[in-house]
Amino acid sequence: MHTSIENLLNEIESFGLENDNIVKEDRLKMKNITKDTGQFLTLLLKSSKVKNVLEVGTSNGYSTIWLARNFINSDAHVTTVEIDDRKITMARDNFRKANLQKYITLHHEDAGAFLKKQANETFDFIFLDSDRSHYVGWWEDLNRVLQRNSLMIVDNANSHREEVNDFIKLIQSSDNHDSLIVSVGKGVLIILKN
Ligand X SMILES: C[S@@+](CC[C@H](N)C(=O)[O-])C[C@H]1O[C@@H](n2cnc3c(N)ncnc32)[C@H](O)[C@@H]1O
Q: How far is residue 18's CA from residue 15's CA, in Å, rounded to a whole number?
A: 5
Sketch the per residue contact string, 107 through 146, with ligand X: x for CB under 6 A, - otherwise: ---xxx----------------xxx--x------------
Determine, following the binding rule CB under 6 A, whether residue 79 of this chain makes contact with ligand X: no
CB of 83 to ligand X, least distance (A): 4
Binding ligand X (rule: CB under 6 A), the pick from 9, 32, 53, 191 is: 32
> From the CB of 91, what's the least distance to ligand X, in Å?
8
Question: Are the CB atoms for 182 and 188 separated by under 8 Å?
Answer: yes
Q: How far is the CB of 57 from ligand X (least distance, A)?
A: 3
Q: For residue 79, what are the β-bridge partners? A: 54, 105
Cα dist from 2 to 15, 65, 85, 90, 186, whole Å: 20, 12, 29, 21, 26
Query: Count of residues binding ligand X (CB under 6 A)?
Result: 19
Q: Which residues bind ligand X (CB under 6 A)?
A: 31-33, 57, 59, 62-63, 81-84, 87, 110-112, 129-131, 134
